[in-house]
Structure 1
Amino acid sequence: MQAVKDKLSDMNAMRKAKNEARAEEKAEKEIAKARIEVAHEVRLAKEAEAVMDLHVAKAGQKAERELAKHNMSSSTTMNTHHPAGGPAPANAATNPPPVAAMAPPTNMPMAPPHGHGHGHGHI
């Protein structure tokens, strides 16, 4: 009779150990899954940041071109309408103000985590 009780006790101990091991494995898998999801979100954020940096750079280049056009057209206008009748300063078109002073801000708020914040959902 004692042998049967010992056998049942051993079986219960094994069942308990297996259940604990399964629970631990499940928790580890959930942690690994969460890490993968975080890594995915970080990658998406880095890609979005790179796209934003590219847009800022393109906007800066466009601002430089527009400024150069404006300075060239205003320098020819200034030549014909200069109050003293003299030419515009020599560096008017070749030395525009730095674009950094005119570049769009880089501290723009990010879109909400689920969507890009203009009211409709994408599927």
Structure 2
Amino acid sequence: MIQGFLQDRYPSHTIRTSKYCLKISYPPFSENMDISGGGIVIEVSEDEFIFAGLNFDVQFTPLSDSHYAAEFIAIEEGEFDQESWVRSRRLKRDELVVRFNPIYSIKKVKVFAY
């Protein structure tokens, strides 16, 4: 699954993947904003995602009734060199959201539902 998203007048969007509901949240919208939020998500596997973009947060919620929460196994910031992922830094995995600042970045996220 590959899905793009862009900030509009709504404060958030919801994207359904094979196992999770992703809530994409944006900073408050203003007509005077220099940069609106937006990006792309690629579902590499049911528990691994690549996000690219800026100015948004992502929260994961399991779709299955047998799981009540999702937790991050790893959050990495980096880039692709040809087809290979090159990690520039590993982020704290105890966060509740994956945060993208007003500067474009790419993050690889691994999660699990429990």
Greater share of residues in strand: 2
Indicate the structure (1 or 2) with the bigger Cα radius of gyration. Answer: 1
TM over 0.5: no
Greater relative contact order (Cα < 8 A, sep 6+): 2
Greater share of residues in helix: 1
TM-score per shorter chain, which class? under 0.3
Q: TM-score, normalised by structure 2?
A: 0.20
